[in-house]
Amino acid sequence: MKDVMGLIYTGENDIHLGELTSLRAVAALPIAGRYRVIDFQLSSMVHSGIKRVGVITQKNYQSLMDHLGSGREWDLHGKVGLQILPPFLTRDGQGMYDGLLDSLKSNLNFLRLSSEEYIVLTNSHSIYNMDYTDAVKQHIETDADITVMYMQPSEAFDGEGFEGEADAHFTVGEDKVITAMEVGPSHPTCHCPSLKIYVARRERLLQLVEQSAANGYHHFGRDLIQRSVNNHSLKICGYEYKGYCCQMDSIQAYFNFNMSMNDPKVRAALFPAERPVYTKVRDDLPARYMGGQCSNSLIANGCIIEGTVINSVLFRGVKVAKGAVVKNSIVMQDAQIQEGAEIDHCILDKQSVIRRNGRLIAPAAYPIVIAKKVVI
Amino acid sequence: MRKKQCVAMLLAGGQGSRLGILTKNVAKPAVPYGGKYRIIDFPLSNCTNSGIDVVGVLTQYRPLELNAYIGSGSPWDLDLANGGVFILPPYHSGKTGEWYKGTANAIYQNIPFIAQWDPEYVLVLSGDHIYKMDYAAMLQSHIDNNADLTIAVREVPWAEAPRFGILNTDENNQITEFEEKPKNPKSNKASMGVYIFNWSKMRKYLEQDELNPNSENDFGKNIIPDMLADNQRLFTYTFDGYWKDVGTIESLWEANMDLLEMPMPIDLYDKKWRIYARNPGMPPHSVAEGAKVVDSLITEGCEVKGVVNHSVLFAGVTVETGAEITDAVIMPGAVIERGAVVRRTIVAENARICAGAVVGEETGNIAVIGPKAVIGPGEKVAAGVQVDADAQ
């Protein structure tokens, strides 16, 4: 896919993730023991042959910039490569985006100065490992104005399918054209969740964004996609993605997703050997076990385990001391669980510490989040 | 090229024949170590951490994997506009091209490479050892002594001294005599094969040595004795940290087992002296229900369902249910199937131990299962045996 560029919008509303995103964008949220959410979108783009990727940032983007650096880890440090697009103050804007459409308007220059024929535009809260090639191919074949990815609704999750709550749903016709769209209905009549991943010709998207802005629109999904579906002014097609996709849209979703990493089927869906997920490397040595006990858990490099770890995910450099018990928990990098301490159904953010003999037991339905660097 | 104070030359051309099938298809510096490293990560990381940013890597034997591993040098921050890591294979120039005849000849053939940096000093390293060393401190000692050549040494137990190149010195650490494997050693200062030369002197002696048809073109056998004979200023620099030659199957196995000691004899957690490595980009390792892991190092990408005891597992190793691994080193991508038992063994990359096989013994020599070798279901491999995939 030589002639395709990528654009990742990281300005989503993330209030449902509470403390986890108070200091970072969803895109920079640590997941699966060593990754951040954006690693999955970036790696998917790179494996699809995309060489130019823009990352639109909004608030809290320091940790995201620190993570992305020059884009080297994703092989995006070349002449084209990765471009971070922070918000800026203009004559007619405060640098605060009122949604995706707004942010595209602010970054029209990046779109104009790029040379690729097509663009893949994705959100930064969906976790997947996909090849966009087919979607672009379908987009070209159907000659659509915009193609939106969607999935079939899934009953039970089994290594593939859609995890999470989509606010937009589609009905898609035989000819791939989206015939109806609903946003956040209480009794939906459309059933296919939107992935909010879009394919368009770059020039066409430029026109549409400029036009929408001229009309005073802000919301990409409602004002551009839904309006066009309703009045048939544009050809909006759907591309059905068959694979795994998880939405990182609440603390419970975050908890469940990480726990699902202990399911070999989910791991196989997200980490196929031929499409590795790249991330910033930390140069830790392998995890070290000294006594202790570990079961049904995902453990990253740099961990030192002397205590008990059950049904959990440990990020890089976590220490579980003698006699400590970590159960059903997600422990982010460099956090410590000291001697005799016990946690159950907790999410420990980076560098937090549970002091000796401390106990934090949360109910299964309501995991506790311990913020970054907090000592308990 | 901007001028550099010191340029490092890493001798990575050795076959390492004592490592048997492990170096049949790769050069010794590319041999995996410690769960996520290769031997060459240590000298390369030491260079970066010592502020030396020009490293020539002299390759000759089976360089493919080593070259691919080093790549642009980015894992060690050695992909630089002015400096970096350079692979230097032997080359032809008109009628005079030839293989590297010896350690000194390897450097001799690369005089133009060194000269373009116009350095004051040249650091000579080998890719055979596991150690963390500050070459900058050694360089400072070289400068303070106004030396022509400084040789890094470690004080070995007297009983072992006859196995090494021994340097006899005066009270100021100035070298008076060099003895290769002396029967009755006068000193216990063993050469580590780490040298710092004044570039002008080095060049002179290399050129002179090349003209001598009887020379073996070796630093230990020719250059050092020549310089001593001419009363040049040669000094030792004593290194007292962890240092392990991993030139044999036993010592490679031991060096891996050393990492399971508490405290670790070589501190790889040291944030000020990171050992860098190329990252295979795998997810964290998973430990299934019913698995048991004790006193071990487990790397990303592993899937552990069986029992792992006092062992080192490299990236992407699979240990199936009921398999039992003890005192073993399992290199990247190897699979240990259901119910297999592995003891005191090095299982090389992508080897497969099929269900119910028994490999290695509780005592005796270390067994080695070569790269991509397959041990069939229920087969037995005795202690000390090496299994070569090509012979299967």
Asked if the Cβ–Cβ distance from B298 to A279 is below 8 Å, we say: no
Minimum-distance CB partner of B284 among A285, A289, A298 = A298
Range of the domain at A355: 288-370
Q: What is the model's pTM?
A: 0.91
Q: What is the largest CA-CA distance in chain B?
A: 69
Residue A307 lies in a domain: yes
Question: Distance (Å, rounded) from C-alpha A343 to C-alpha A370?
Answer: 11
User: Domain containing A125 — which CATH number?
Assistant: 3.90.550.10
| Exposure of B199 in the CB half-sphere (CA atoms within 13 A) | 20
Domain final residue, candidates A270, A299, A320: A270
Say whether pLDDT at A287 is over 70. Answer: yes
Contact A239, A147 (CB under 8 A): yes
Question: Distance (Å, rounded) from C-alpha B225 to C-alpha B217?
Answer: 12
Q: What is the ipTM of this complex?
A: 0.88
Q: Which residue has the tokens 């005079």?
A: B96
- Taking CB atoms and an 8 Å cut-off, how many pairs form between chains A and B? 102
Chain B's closest residue to A295, CA to CA, is B289
In terms of pLDDT, which residue wins out, A365 or B266?
B266
Contact B91, B116 (CB under 8 A): no
Chain A's closest residue to B306, CA to CA, is A295
Question: Distance (Å, rounded) from C-alpha A337 to C-alpha A352?
Answer: 9
- How near does any CA of chain A get to the CA of B177, in Å? 41
Domain final residue, candidates A220, A237, A270: A270
Contact A321, A307 (CB under 8 A): yes
Question: Distance (Å, rounded) from C-alpha B121 to C-alpha A321?
Answer: 47
Instruction: Write out chain B residues lying below 8 Å of A309, CB-based.
Output: 287
pLDDT of residue A53: 96
The answer to whether residue B80 neighbours chain A at the CB level (below 8 Å) is no
Same domain, A125 and A39: yes
pLDDT of residue A160: 64
Number of domains in chain A: 2
Say whether pLDDT at B267 is over 90. Answer: yes
Asked if the Cβ–Cβ distance from B276 to A297 is below 8 Å, we say: no
Same domain, A225 and A92: yes
Asked if the Cβ–Cβ distance from B285 to A298 is below 8 Å, we say: yes
Same domain, A118 and A162: yes
Minimum-distance CB partner of B300 among A264, A297, A301 = A301
Instruction: Write out chain B residues lying below 8 Å of A277, CB-based.
Output: 281, 283
Instruction: Write out chain A residues lying below 8 Å of B312, CB-based.
Output: 286
Residues of A143-175 as b/e, b for ≥16 C-beta within 10 angstroms? ebbbbbbbbeeeeebeebbbbbebebbbbbeee
Residue A282 lies in a domain: no
Residue A279 lies in a domain: no
pLDDT band at A305 (very low <50, low <70, confident <90, very high): very high
Same domain, A215 and A357: no
Q: Which of A128-137, A261-270, B27-36, B97-106 has the lowest mean pLDDT?
A: B97-106
Residue A275 lies in a domain: no
| Best to test chain A binding among B49, B132, B298, B317 (most A CBs inside 10 Å) | B298
pLDDT of residue A2: 76
| Best to test chain B binding among A288, A318, A319, A326 (most B CBs inside 10 Å) | A288
Say whether pLDDT at B15 is over 80. Answer: no
Question: In sequence order, what DSSP letters do the residues of B256-277 get, joined into one string?
Answer: HHHTTSSS-SS-TT-TTSPPP-
Question: Distance (Å, rounded) from C-alpha A351 to C-alpha A258?
Answer: 18
* Residue type for position B226: D
Dihedral of CA atoms A297, A300, A304, A308 in degrees, nearest 10, equals -10
| Best to test chain B binding among A289, A293, A297, A309 (most B CBs inside 10 Å) | A289
Q: Which of A275-279, A325-329, B92-96, B341-345 has the lowest mean pLDDT?
A: B92-96
Residue A277 lies in a domain: no
**A140-172 pLDDT, tens per residue?**
999 999 999 999 887 655 556 677 776 788 999
**B199-214 pLDDT, tens per residue?**
999 999 999 999 999 9
Long-range contacts of B86-89 (CB under 8 A, 24+ apart): B86/B54, B86/B55, B86/B56, B86/B57, B86/B113, B87/B57, B87/B59, B87/B63, B88/B56, B88/B57, B88/B58, B88/B59, B88/B113, B89/B58, B89/B59, B89/B60, B89/B63
User: Domain containing A305 — which CATH number?
Assistant: 2.160.10.10
Q: State the pairing for strand pair B175-180/B165-169.
A: antiparallel
Asked if the Cβ–Cβ distance from B286 to A277 is below 8 Å, we say: no
**Alpha carbon B174 to its chain's center:** 28
| Best to test chain A binding among B72, B78, B279 (most A CBs inside 10 Å) | B279
pLDDT of residue B301: 96
